[in-house]
Structure 1
Amino acid sequence: MDLSPAPFFEDVAGGPAGGAAHWLTTSDGTRIRVGHWRPEGEATGTVMIFPGRTEYIEKYGNAAGEFVQRGFAVLAVDWRGQGLADRLLEDPRVGHVDKFTDYQQDVRETLKLAEQLGLPKPWHVIGHSMGGAIGMRAVLETGLFASCSFTGPMWGIFFTPLMKPLSRLTAYWGPRIGLGEKTPPTTSLESYVLIQPFEGNALTRDPGMYRMMQDQLTAHPELALGAPSTIWLREALDECAWLMAQTAPDIPCLTYLGSHEQIVDRKAIRARMANWPSGRLVEIPGGEHEVMMEPPEVRDPVFEEMAAHFSAAANGQTPELAMTR
């Protein structure tokens, strides 16, 4: 694999020193971007961060710092259709994928890069939101991870009772009538954090973290992404249904759910974790979607617990976790 360097916006990442990024080309010719950080000295394993829809490597600079200082190497990826990866439609503001399983092509190239870079094993994965769906399938299909952790995983999508039938109608009939590359009704082509004030946002209760997201996109607007296509919505709904029908993999899993979650389906997460034999669900009272970007009194214990979870899994142990906040 040719290690072709890719841009890495260290000016806004806020992560540990020494971060770098590479371009990768998947089996269908799509170019994606993968970033990584290493600790000083020998790493005790590698944490692979699978971001959510609209996200990008630099958004996880702070999380990378948390794990690097605990002795882990860290890797993060720009999925196809977002970040600096190839955008798949004529309008680059629309998030799109032809098939949800195409993201597994991105996973495969990312894992090949991790091998080539010599990122130390055991490998662990954190899947956030859409990355939780991608990550769960990767755990099921690759057998390469010693443990997994999820934050607000997209194992179902949250809709209000009014919007649920309309959204499903849009997802399954829109592509049939030539609207597959259009965005669903009531959505915007502009980035959520640039049009939604901090007050009333559905991501975080930390104003500093919300401002960081805004500043990153203001400095590098090429990272921004708006609403998904109706094809993406259809594919995401089908993938969630498939994931919920699978038997939970036999590896340790630690999942976080904010009690005020408004983006993914809380019921699906609770149901999935209730049937994960080696799994634990931690609910954050009042928490929003971005658990790793909540205020310090929330996110600091989360990082500490995740690191303990990964270390224990590597040693065949189960750590005691603080189950409440």
Structure 2
Amino acid sequence: MTQPLFPAAPLYADLALGPDGGAAYWLTTVDGVRIRAGVWPVGEKGTVLLFPGRTEYVEKYGMGAADLAARGYATVVVDWRGQGLADRLLPDRMLGHVGQFHDYQLDVQAVLDMARRLGLPEPYYLMSHSMGGAIALRALMHGLPVKAAVFSAPMWGIAMAAWMRPFAQPIAQISGLLGLSHRLAPSTSNKNYILDVGFGGNVLTTDPEMWRYMKRQMTERPELALGGPSLAWVYTALMECRDLSLAPSPDYPALTVLGSAEKVVDVAPIHLRMARWRNGRLDMYHGAEHEVPMEALAHRTRFYDDAAALFDAHR
């Protein structure tokens, strides 16, 4: 009997609502961390490598994979180290943590290797959200072999109160020197945001249907949930945002989308970068919150239509 290329991992298809034929696999990175990748291989035009945000997981993008499949594209989604069903890096599994932000690039390499070994349809394209947008930008700077990239509210800066901004980096750095880097970052909670707040006043989506979709996943599979970040995560994320801001935009066709009601990421670096991205554009979504791919149907349709149009134009 032929051995499978990768060990099978759980995929909660009833919660994901993705297209038929989905599967999930365990991948081991070069530094020995076990991560999970979800694959929906339906699509003859190519494969979208979908990089989620902090706290997110494979199943959250099942409906997005269905939207991409309807437009001719297969989808791969990753559980980054420290979240979803991937290895959690601290004893408190609700605490979001990473050693160095660059470690996420090891996850990227494992996912790319999987896509190639599984023979997923080429060419490859990139789609990312929030923290995944920072990981995606760095991957493009390293020459990720994709034809075009779509960013949703990329974390090229972290939103925080103006008075906190001068102190955030020094506090996180000093905490590391004092051996406190594994502590929960101030003003955050080790509770999952979706489970801890109600729909009214949330900063993720204005759409009650999508809110119920996400809340059902968290309620029925609490092992997917993640809370606030560690001080170490805050420090290394701030350093990565700073370093990215100093680098030129890579030479890829790019579309970035941003809701006008964005409250999670810092919007200034997004506007600055897209104003100088030679082959890129920024589209604003009036009234949308942080998660444009999880917004009201009109926004979601526009998002996936425009993403597919960009990908179609770069076959």
Shift of 1:3: 1.1
In structure 1, the residue matched to 2:11 is 8
Q: Does residue 67 in structure 1 map to residue 101 in structure 2?
A: no
Shift of 1:137: 0.9
In structure 2, the residue matched to 1:93 is 94
SS in 2 for 1:145: coil
Deviations 1:289-310 (CA, angstroms, capped at 9, x unpaired): 1000110111111110100011
Deviates more, 1:52-61 or 1:164-173: 164-173
Question: What is the CA RMSD across the aligned residues, in angstroms?
Answer: 1.1
For residues 166 and 199 of structure 1, the distance between their equivalents in structure 2, rounded to whole angstroms, comes to: 31
In structure 1, the residue matched to 2:137 is 136
SS in 2 for 1:142: coil
In structure 1, the residue matched to 2:212 is 211
Q: Does residue 38 in structure 1 map to residue 41 in structure 2?
A: yes
Q: Does residue 253 in structure 1 map to residue 281 in structure 2?
A: no
Figure out how many residues of one structure are paired with residues of the other and give that number: 312
Identity %: 48
TM-score normalised by L of structure 2: 0.97
In structure 2, the residue matched to 1:317 is none
TM-score normalised by L of structure 1: 0.94
Instruction: Check conservation: 1:167, 1:184, Cα contact below 8 A.
Output: no
Q: Which runs of 5+ in 1 are unaligned?
A: 315-325
For residues 270 and 66 of structure 2, the distance between their equivalents in structure 1, rounded to whole angstroms, comes to: 27
In structure 1, the residue matched to 2:81 is 80
Q: Which runs of 5+ in 2 are unaligned?
A: none
Deviations 1:86-135 (CA, angstroms, capped at 9, x unpaired): 00001101000000000000000100000011111111111100000001
For residues 193 and 165 of structure 1, the distance between their equivalents in structure 2, rounded to whole angstroms, comes to: 29
Q: Does residue 28 in structure 1 map to residue 31 in structure 2?
A: yes
Deviations 1:236-292 (CA, angstroms, capped at 9, x unpaired): 001111111111111100000111111111001000101100001001112111000
Partner amino acid, structure 2, of 1:191: N
SS in 2 for 1:146: coil
Instruction: Check conservation: 1:48, 1:123, Cα contact below 8 A.
Output: yes
Deviates more, 1:42-51 or 1:129-138: 42-51
Partner amino acid, structure 2, of 1:264: V
In structure 2, the residue matched to 1:288 is 289
In structure 2, the residue matched to 1:49 is 50
For residues 137 and 221 of structure 1, the distance between their equivalents in structure 2, rounded to whole angstroms, comes to: 31
